[in-house]
Amino acid sequence: MANKFKIIAFDVDGTLVDDTVFVWDSIHDAYGVGKAARRQAMEQYFAGKLDYRGWFFEDIRLLQEAGATREGLMKVISGMKLMDGAQETLAALHATGAHLVIISGTLDLVVKHFGLDGLVHEVFCNRFHFDDAGRLSGGTPTPFDIEAKAEALKVTAKRLGVPLAETAFVGDNFNDVEIAKAAGLSLAFNCKSDALAKVATHVVPGQNLRHVLKYLM
Q: What is the pTM of this model?
A: 0.95
98 occurs within a structural domain: yes
Q: Give the domain range for residue 97.
A: 7-19+81-216
pLDDT of residue 166: 98
DSSP, res 97? T
Q: Is 144 found in the same domain as 199? A: yes
Alpha-carbon distance of 80 to 21, in angstroms, equals 11
**217: pLDDT strictly greater than 80:** yes
Q: Is 142 found in the same domain as 117? A: yes
pLDDT tens digits, residue range 43-89?
Answer: 999 999 999 999 999 999 999 999 999 999 999 999 999 999 999 99
Domains held by the chain: number: 2
2 occurs within a structural domain: no
Distances (CA, A) of 46 to 55, 92, 112, 115: 10, 38, 29, 32
pLDDT of residue 3: 81
pLDDT tens digits, residue range 100-156?
Answer: 999 999 999 999 999 999 999 999 999 999 999 999 999 999 999 999 999 999 999
Domain end among 41, 61, 78: 78
Q: Which residues contact 130 (CB under 8 A, 6 or more apart)?
A: 69, 70, 136, 137
Q: Is 30 found in the same domain as 12? A: no
CATH number at residue 87: 3.40.50.1000
pLDDT of residue 58: 96
| Residue 4 and residue 99 in contact, taking contact as beta carbons nearer than 8 Å | no
Q: Please name the residue ranges forming H helices in the chain.
A: 23-30, 35-46, 52-65, 70-78, 86-95, 108-113, 149-160, 177-182, 194-199, 213-216
**192: pLDDT strictly greater than 80:** yes
pLDDT of residue 21: 86
Q: Is 135 found in the same domain as 28? A: no
Radius of gyration of the chain (CA): 17
Q: Is 165 found in the same domain as 153? A: yes
**1: pLDDT strictly greater than 80:** no
Question: For the chain, what percent of residues have pLDDT higher than 70?
Answer: 99
Q: What is the mean pLDDT of residues 194-210?
A: 97
Alpha-carbon distance of 180 to 111, in angstroms, equals 21
